[in-house]
Structure 1
Amino acid sequence: MMFEWNSLSLRDCITHKKGYAFKSKDYQEDGTPIVKVTNLTDNSIDMSSVVFVNEDIAKSNKSVSLKQNDIIIATVGSWATNPASVVGKTVKVPSGAQNALLNQNAVIIRPIDEKIDKIFLYYLLKNQSFGKYLVSNAQGSANQASITLNDIYSYQTTIPSLLIQKKIAHILSTLDDKIELNRKMNQTLEEMAQALFKSWFVDFDPVHVKVNAAGREDALGYKVGCTSDAELEQAATALGVSKEVLELFPNSFVESEMGMIPEGWEGGSLSDIAVFENERISQEELTQKNYISTENMLENKKGIRDASSLPNSVSVPSFEPRQTLVSNIRPYFKKIWLANISGGRSADVLGFKSKDDNTNEFLFNVLYQDQFFAYMMLTSIGAKMPRGDKKAIMQFSMALPSVKLMQFFSMKVKSFYTLVANNHQEIKTLQKTRDTLLPKLLSGELDVSEVDI
């Protein structure tokens, strides 16, 4: 109840530490990670694309070392029209970022323990009222906004007793824990599919196993694979698959322009299995849930979020379920999504359609490879904002298995992506529940005094 809550300014209950301006010349590929503003996600930190510094630099900057559940606020960013990088973005440090160092343009916020619970403070700063307050006080140019420490410290709010704070934090963090669990499950499912794809179609493990199990050579000195049921059973057991699966793969390798590939396969390119989608959809049919632009595609293969705005054009390129969408701007961000709905996309998002029926998941895994994104960058146009070259993209080389094998793989992993889509929908439901509860809990509208924790 509001009469049990006390008014205070944030300066009465928090301390801070500003990030350090690390020098780009000191960045390296391993060591102590540096967290930049660009690594901040909606609620956490993406550690997959951080840079590193050596031990000596890390030791001299221990003051900006992060602890789990620290709160980070971005003091430089965009205006509210670009929510993905908005100034004042607030995240909680995950366990995976423990001991990382915070770069400039952000600040670590920590509570004065006897006054406010750390997790409650995080949700207090995640509330829309705080974000709007910061944006309204920001200064800057048309493309960049900044806030000061005084803006943060001057925020006026009300808080309940520590016990009620902990109960509110428990309710909200339980929802966030389930959201994070679903995200990790989705990542695991996609990694499992990609690992199987790599084993079968990049490393050719089933063919190697068949060859090694037989241990014979043909007249030209090439090793050849299993010819008896016993040898096939032995090879299947070694690979951990059924004999029926192994029978789908050739028994030997042949030379090609790509090197040694399974016999019967061909050296080919992406254009042999895919085309660009060229259909269009009316702007009237678009919503924030079915419009995909490069802005609402997530980095590092993490799918999509709802769009923050819709295009003004009469129509846009369309996409259908099971097609693969890839952001064509700055390919190094690795933005990719296997669509489970139909909708529209911006011209900077490429839509790939399989040439053969029931091979959508195979195509998605071809495009999901880091090797593909590296190729996109290598053949991209432009330096400041590299853009994939559509003609070059279709020349991405690959070993082409039979359509039957592509279909078999797609069928085998299709259930993975169905579960990914279901988890994603549950994430959106949980987020909506959390975002609905958040202001009501933080205003005292909902009484949690009887909640057990």
Structure 2
Amino acid sequence: MSEWREYILEDVIDKFIDYRGKTPTKTTFGIPLVTAKIVKAGKILPPNEFIAREDYDSWMTRGLPEIDDVVLTTEAPLGEVALIQDKNVALAQRIITLRGKKEFIFNPFLKYYFQNDTGQHKLQSRASGTTVFGIKASVLRKMPVELPDIEEQKAIASVLSSLDDKIDLLHRQNKTLEAMAETLFRQWFVEEVEDDWVEGTIYDLIEFNPARKLAKGEMAPYLEMAALSTNTFNPDGWYLREFSSGTKFTNGDTLLARITPCLENGKTAYVTFLENDQVAWGSTEYIVMRPKGNLHPFFAYSLARNSDFRDYAEGCLAGSSGRQRVDVDHLKDYKISTPSATRIKNYNAFAESITLKLHANSQQIHTLKTLRDTLLPKLMSGEVRVEYP
């Protein structure tokens, strides 16, 4: 096993690409632009800004990215980090791209170094600024880093990346399952409405904010609005907290953000993470939806993700600009027909099979994330060592 040594970052970095101080002309399509806004949780999210292909050469004069280069955000926010997986991108301000010298640094290891508390502390403690809090390139270059030899770096990164790869695979599986559910819901309940269905409103099918009981001061799982996803059923992160005042919910409930811009952004959840009969609570800005009668609970979530319904919900916003909320009484007037018993039976069978798989995957994701988060500081400090040839 190697001993860890301390280096100055600039001594072990081959390329230090910094486009701060430059502002590209942005377009609606072209070469994807990697900005600080899309570097999150160890990943580069799908881009929403681009530069024209004909501007690429004139813009990218300070260095070109390569696969597995480390992208580090330097301000607003500071310390988000990811690996470049597609070198056909442009680099924006507020990020610095690092490429380690091959004999000193394995780039995936460097990503995990910055994700760990030690790396984060070194960045935060060297940051400065009043209106914008960030780290200067000159300061970052002089930051000390502790490294084992290159083979141990590769072994450590292999352990952590294998966990991340499995988590990503499960997320992709759930995304595919949700896409199937959304397609079937649209076909069965929007496009293929039958003559014998009873015309009505959503209030005929969905109960809003059903009564749940929690005693004041009782410890119960708490779910923040920030934990709701914009594109998947499973919220990310909940914790025990004394109940004071908030929206209460149980397994099988659908949570719909009722405040702008959370509603427009798509924040929605289908609750599966609680124990049987456990009651949780969260933001007063949730609308809780639960199907009535014999409809499967997932029906409410599928409806909440439906684009027609979401457009209608946005039309129900009321209040002052910037703090508008959905008027639930208005929302209850959304027109939808009550399906036949046969259609309900078929949908319920489908929903039960898909929710079992979604829940199993989400549980495995939670377990793997916990393991990864436990191992990360131990591996990056040398407390736990990895065998390697």
Q: Which TM class, normalised by the smaller chain length?
A: 0.7 to 0.9
CA contact (8 A) 1:281 1:317 kept: no
User: What is the letter of the counterpart of residue 230 of structure 2?
Assistant: E
Distance 1:301 1:266, change over 3 A: same
Distance 1:447 1:328, change over 3 A: same
In structure 2, the residue matched to 1:300 is 231
The answer to whether structure 1 residue 272 and structure 2 residue 191 are counterparts is no
Cα distance in 2 between the residues matched to 1:52 and 1:389? 37
Residue 411 of structure 1, CA deviation:
2.4
Distance 1:285 1:120, change over 3 A: same
The answer to whether structure 1 residue 262 and structure 2 residue 194 are counterparts is yes
Question: Per-residue CA shift, 1:390-445, capped at 9, x if unaligned?
Answer: 33333333344235523431321222222212211211211221222222222222
Selected match of 1:130 from 114, 119, 134? 119
**Unpaired stretches in structure 2, ≥5 consecutive residues:** none
In structure 1, the residue matched to 2:255 is 325
Secondary structure of the residue aligned to 1:107 is: strand
How do residues 40-439 of structure 1 correspond to structure 2 at under 5 angstroms? Answer: 40-47=39-46, 50-62=48-60, 67-77=66-76, 87-93=78-84, 95=85, 98-141=87-130, 145-204=133-192, 261-277=193-209, 278-279=211-212, 281-282=214-215, 284-286=217-219, 290-301=221-232, 303-307=234-238, 314-329=244-259, 330=261, 331-340=263-272, 341=274, 342-381=279-318, 382-384=320-322, 386-402=324-340, 404-439=342-377
User: What is the letter of the counterpart of residue 344 of structure 1?
Assistant: W
Question: Per-residue CA shift, 1:301-339, capped at 9, x if unaligned?
Answer: 3631114895x7623221011111122231232111110
In structure 1, the residue matched to 2:37 is 38
Cα distance in 2 between the residues matched to 1:349 and 1:411? 28
Distance 1:157 1:197, change over 3 A: same
Distance 1:428 1:107, change over 3 A: same
CA contact (8 A) 1:286 1:343 kept: no
Distance 1:71 1:114, change over 3 A: same
Secondary structure of the residue aligned to 2:333 is: coil
Residue 281 of structure 1, CA deviation:
2.9
Cα distance in 2 between the residues matched to 1:284 and 1:179? 35
Distance 1:182 1:52, change over 3 A: same
The answer to whether structure 1 residue 12 and structure 2 residue 11 are counterparts is yes
Cα distance in 2 between the residues matched to 1:40 and 1:292? 24
Residue 119 of structure 1, CA deviation:
0.9
CA contact (8 A) 1:120 1:168 kept: yes
Q: CA RMSD in A?
A: 2.9
Greater radius of gyration (CA):
1
CA contact (8 A) 1:377 1:388 kept: yes
CA contact (8 A) 1:35 1:50 kept: no
Secondary structure of the residue aligned to 2:365 is: helix
CA contact (8 A) 2:250 2:271 kept: yes
Cα distance in 2 between the residues matched to 1:203 and 1:58? 45
Tell me the TM-score normalised to structure 1 length. 0.74
Cα distance in 2 between the residues matched to 1:155 and 1:76? 16
In structure 2, the residue matched to 1:227 is none
Distance 1:92 1:33, change over 3 A: same
Question: Per-residue CA shift, 1:135-188, capped at 9, x if unaligned?
Answer: 23333458x632322343232122111111111111111111111111111111
CA contact (8 A) 2:36 2:73 kept: yes
Distance 1:284 1:157, change over 3 A: farther
Question: Per-residue CA shift, 1:63-92, capped at 9, x if unaligned?
Answer: 586544332222223xxxxxxxx5312223
Distance 1:112 1:339, change over 3 A: same
Residue 33 of structure 1, CA deviation:
2.8
Distance 1:115 1:302, change over 3 A: farther
Distance 1:442 1:39, change over 3 A: same
Secondary structure of the residue aligned to 1:344 is: strand
Secondary structure of the residue aligned to 2:44 is: coil
Cα distance in 2 between the residues matched to 1:65 and 1:356? 59
Cα distance in 2 between the residues matched to 1:141 and 1:299? 31
Question: Per-residue CA shift, 1:93-124, capped at 9, x if unaligned?
Answer: 3x4x5523343333323223332111111111
Distance 1:309 1:137, change over 3 A: farther
The answer to whether structure 1 residue 21 and structure 2 residue 2 are counterparts is no
User: What is the letter of the counterpart of residue 16 of structure 1?
Assistant: I
Cα distance in 2 between the residues matched to 1:203 and 1:178? 36
